[in-house]
Amino acid sequence: MKLGSAELDLSSPRIMAVLNMTPDSFSDGGEFYGDNGQVDLSLVLERVEAHLKNGADIIDVGGESTRPGASLVGLDEELDRVVPVIEAIVSRFDAVVSVDTSSPVVMTESARVGAAMINDVRALGHEGAIGAAALTGLPVCLMHMAGRPENMQKAPDYGDVLQEVCDFLLERVDSCEQAGIDRSKIILDPGFGFGKTVEHNLSLFRGLNKLFVLGFPLLVGVSRKSMIGSILDKPVEERLIGSVALAMLAAQSGARILRVHDVAATVDALKILNAVEGGYDG
């Protein structure tokens, strides 16, 4: 897949590193803020450099928390959090940068300063988002979410979660195509933890191979999420092993982009998986 000036080979799983420029994300909110309450860009660039050295293929920059119960962020605030960071990363590193946003304006401005991909938890559902994404010409990731971040976990309910997620994503693909976004530029994300119980998430995991046969690259993001905490009875800071285990299961089921916080550990696990599956050359 063409991402900016780079060609990303999706014949095997690739790593997308999470870079949350938010004060309130569930796992790593506020990490890059100094004592003055402002973002310390030097800390951001240090983290990006570490992610790239550890094997990240994509840096996913987001300025709005979408954890359960999160509130919307104003446009100016999201722009201030995201655009300067993307510009700084692109100017310093030979890196593929994705923007995690639902805002048409943030999509456009991020593309202007060098973002190579749009990752939208609302599947380009906001007014004007599909048109803005189409105009950028960038690949897009469409994610399934039932409800909105502020209410999505109150009482999620499905008849058949796998079928409903498939139907939703295919409907969004059709909308994208009608807006001029080519199928070759579309990635799908089943949206683990977004309007889903632990049981719903596990059902989706068991059916990932069915999503894979839809014919689009799959992005899976389960890193440190509450489903791991529920299964293991572990707080966020103790979910590394669970996160890596689910990432490997996703890779075995056809996921081609793994969105993670812990890049080095996931890359090591992928090397082991690839070796077992026949990719070891000594």
Quote the pLDDT of residue 1.
Answer: 93
pLDDT at res. 152: 56
Structure tokens at 271: 């090397």
Least confident of 14-23, 76-85, 151-160, 180-189: 151-160
In this prediction, residue 264 has a pLDDT band, given cuts at 50, 70 and 90, of: very high
pLDDT cut 70: percent of the chain above it: 90
275: which DSSP letter? I
What is the chain's mean pLDDT, rounded? 91
pLDDT at 82: 95
* Residue 138 or 282, more confident: 138
Using CA atoms, how far residue 8 sits from 12, 186, 187, 194, 272, in Å, is 10, 13, 13, 27, 21
Q: Which of 196, 224, 239, 259 is flagged as catalytic?
A: 259
CATH number of 2-6+13-279: 3.20.20.20
Q: Active-site residue among 225, 239, 256, 271?
A: 225
Residue 29 confidence (pLDDT): 52
Residue 27 has pLDDT above 60, yes or no: no
Average pLDDT over residues 103-119: 98
Q: Which pLDDT value is given to residue 155? A: 62
Query: Active site includes 196?
Result: no
Question: Confidence band (pLDDT; 50, 70, 90) for 239?
Answer: very high
**Pairing state between β 257-260 and 186-189:** unpaired
Mean pLDDT of 26-50: 77
Would you say residue 42 has pLDDT above 60?
A: yes
Tokens representing residue 126 in the block: 């906001």
Residues forming a β-bridge with 99: 61, 118
Q: How confident is the model at residue 282 (pLDDT cuts 50, 70, 90)?
A: low
Predicted confidence at residue 30, as pLDDT, reads 63
122 compared with 33, residue with greater pLDDT: 122
Q: Residue 251: is its pLDDT beyond 80?
A: yes
> φ and ψ at 255, to 5 degrees?
-60, 135
**Is the pLDDT reported for residue 178 higher than 80?**
yes
**For the chain, domain boundaries:** 2-6+13-279
Q: How far is Cα 183 from Cα 209, in angstroms, rounded to an integer?
A: 19
Q: Note the pLDDT of residue 34.
A: 64
- pLDDT mean over 85-110: 97
Q: Would you state the pLDDT for residue 119?
A: 98
148 among known catalytic residues: no
The model carries a pTM of 0.92
CA dihedral (67, 60, 247, 94) in degrees, to 10, reads -170
How far lies 130's CA from each of 82, 98, 110, 121, 178, in Å? 20, 16, 15, 13, 10
pLDDT score at 260: 97
The predicted pLDDT at position 213 comes to 82
User: What would the pLDDT profile of 192-232 be if each residue is shown by its tens digit?
Assistant: 989 899 999 999 999 998 898 889 999 999 999 999 999 99
